[in-house]
Amino acid sequence: MKKRIPILMIIKNLINKGIFNSNKGIRNEASANLIESFGIGNQVYIKNTKIFNNYINDDMPLILNRLSSLKANHLFTIEYSDSTVISNTTFENTSTIFQVLNSYITIEDSVFKNYNIKNSLPLIDYGKMSNIIISNTCFQNITIQGNGIFGEETQYKLSNINVSHSKINSEAFINFNYNNRIELSNIEINDVQCLGDNSSLIKINTNELENSKINIEQLKIYSCQSNGPLIKFKGNMNQIFLKDITIQNNYAYGSLIENTSKKSTMNIDDLIMLNNTNLNKNNCGIFQISNGNQELEILNSEFNNNIANGNGGALCLNDLLSRSIKLYNNKFNNNVSDKNGGAIYIDNYIEGEIILINNTFKENESTYFGGAIYLNKFNKISIEDSKFTGNYAGVSGGAIYTVNDSISYISNIKGNFKGNKASSYGSDYSSQPYYIALNNYNDFIYQKYQSGDYIPLEFSLYDKYNQLVVDRLKYFSDITLKVEVELNDDDEMLDSLIINKSGNIGSFVQGKCDLKYFRILSNKSLNITLKFVSDNNDYHLIFNTTSINLKLNGCDSRNQVTIIDNNRCFHCEQPICHSWCNSTVSYCLPSTINPNVNSPEYNECVCKDGYTGEDCQEYIYEDLL
């Protein structure tokens, strides 16, 4: 069809079994190359038609259906049209199909195929204030650089759509912008590559529109790739309904589903996410919801065999302000996180409650913490009738791990735990190190110490669930413990006071820190307080005993030798005598001549009562007569 068809006014236009081939949009006295139709009530029908190899390089569309005059490089200009129907039509390698304004268009039983174009305009349409319904239609072998398939600001309703073997180099393959009513049903997308920077397969941004509704049912996405989130929701206030969705065998440099709406209610039923990979180690989750007031409910869904190079092997929830997150009757199996949270990662959710009922977590894995679930900065969580089986964490929390910054922690878990493992500690659930306990506190109630005595202190490191932090991998080896000494005597004691301490710093080995060789040397008797601190307190550690009071006494001059070191501090020693000074029959006493020297040459061996002689080996007998 190469000759121009006359102008048709106020009439129903029917094109049946037509072929539009190699039309170039030649300028002439009319406003369209083939058909120009205008008038209120006009209807245009195109059926059983093939449209291919049409390139419109001038401002001359093939068909113009109008009440006003707007022109661009496209096949059809449709303005203020109540009904334009395209049925059983094939489009192949054409320019943009429609420029639309305030019109209603139906496309059904049609095919769009074999495109390889560079175009700043979408393939189907561009325009405003229009509605397009597409059903029972295929998009095959489409390669586009510059834009996607659908106009961003047109209201679309898509059903029974098949998309396959296509590539784009743009923001999104399907990009809806400023649409507050979007309906997608029975959509199958297979082998689509989104190669643009941070590009997506489906991007829906309602912007500042209020109460926008997005309803997606029976969506299947297989073997696709994207350089950003595969599906992305964004906007001011969205109601999102997802039902009967399958997302399988896809790769994305980001989450497979991402919702960053400022406020949204998201209801999900029967979602299957299987064998998907998030390649971005700085991005979170296969399914991510973040940065807003989000209500979330996920029912009867499965997250299996997914891999995230960052946190959250399946589900990631962070920086949320919503009232509740509800997960009912879901399965999380064989998901892997290269960081934390093999199945679920939740961070900074301090307003509402997390409810998990009748969920299964099986053989999920994280490189560091939380083989199944990782929780940080959360308010309240309820876990009921859920099973945790065979989950693994490379460091801690084989099933569940909580961070101490949380307002609360899991105090009552009604779940079934079996065969979960962690390399360091907490096979089922754990937290990061939480408190340090002084194990031998009672030793200091009755024990008396002198300057220079060893004061053994035994500490243990526990998590929030009172489990010993064994830390076989030495992940927390940077946690150190220090004993500081404070003087309790009056200020006069400070004059000429000398204190030296040693052995007062230690670290934890398999949850234990034993300061066996801690000692204090002074030049005076003292009343002191030992205070316990952790220099590296990134974990906000607390002590069950923060300090103990001690008195350091001087030496017993009758039974001990006072040794003064080069720093003028003293310590006490038991006197040393010659080997023949048998302690059974004699005493070894300090020298009165050289009281600060501990030597057999000066110390005295004194016989006990009842013994005499040079070596105290002779008995003294009482004269009974």
Interval 284-333: pLDDT, tens: 999 999 887 888 999 999 999 999 999 999 999 988 876 678 999 999 99
Q: How far are the Cα atoms of 31, 319, 324, 349, 442 from residue 291, in angstroms, in the given order?
A: 49, 5, 15, 10, 50
600 has pLDDT over 60: yes
Can you say how many angstroms the Cα of residue 142 is from the centroid of all Cα atoms in its chain? 36
51 — phi, psi (to 5°)?
-125, 110
Helix H or strand E segment including 612: strand 611-612
Q: What percent of the chain has pLDDT over 70?
A: 84
Q: What digits encode the pLDDT tens for the residues 536-589?
A: 767 889 999 999 998 899 999 899 999 999 999 999 999 999 999 998 999 999
Under the banding of pLDDT at 50, 70 and 90, the label for residue 32 is: low
Across all residues in the chain, what is the average pLDDT?
84
Residue range 460-511, pLDDT digits in tens: 999 988 999 999 888 888 899 999 998 887 655 666 788 899 999 999 999 9
Q: How confident is the model at residue 146 (pLDDT cuts 50, 70, 90)?
A: confident
Is the Cβ–Cβ distance between 399 and 391 less than 8 Å? yes
- Indicate whether 339 pLDDT > 80: yes
Tokens 């309703």 locate to 157
Report yes or no: 603 and 577 within 8 Å, Cβ to Cβ: yes
The SS3 of residue 445 is helix
pLDDT at 170: 86
Predicted local confidence at residue 109, as pLDDT: 93
Q: Is the pLDDT of residue 592 over 70?
A: yes
> Residue 41 pLDDT > 90, yes or no?
no
Residue 87 pLDDT level (bands cut at 50, 70, 90): confident
How many Å apart are CA 456 and CA 443, to the nearest integer? Answer: 9
Residue 34 in this model has a pLDDT that exceeds 60: no
What would the pLDDT profile of 203-255 be if each residue is shown by its tens digit? 999 988 888 899 999 999 999 999 999 999 999 999 999 999 999 999 999 99
